Structure 1
Amino acid sequence: MKKVHVYYHYVSLFLLLATGFILFYLNTGFPRQQFIISIYIAVLYVLWGLIHHYLKGDLHMRIVIEYSLIAILSIVIIRGAILR
């Protein structure tokens, strides 16, 4: 895979996470909406990782589990922080 393509992959990840952060911040005071936004961002993060590694040619079950566990962990932490 060319370096330019990898650059665009990481720019898209940055935009995805930045958009999620902005939406999360704009919904301050609405914990349910923040939680829903967090779930969407986590799912999109997993999809981004799967697509990225598929295009690189190194998509393995270990990578699928890794991205999924990171997303689940982030959802659990955010849920504990905003839904008390």
Structure 2
Amino acid sequence: MERPDPAARDRQLLSRLRIGFVALVAVSAGLIASYADGSLLEAASAVGGGAVVGVLLVWLAFPSPSAEASERSPRR
């Protein structure tokens, strides 16, 4: 029986975390718009805008795998 690759598992976990973070921000923006008595179009626009903001936040908050690898490699 083969053991799962820890690096692949970590990449998958990080990918799911990023997707969940974007979804959380997008849904939050849509809920805020709906609680403010916005129309369906306004709530949908807020979800779209929240998704864009979520992607930008993920880009800033979570490092890319290549950046992590370069930080872990010893400098010579």
Question: Where is the helix percentage greater, Structure 1 or Structure 2?
Answer: 1
Larger Rg: 2
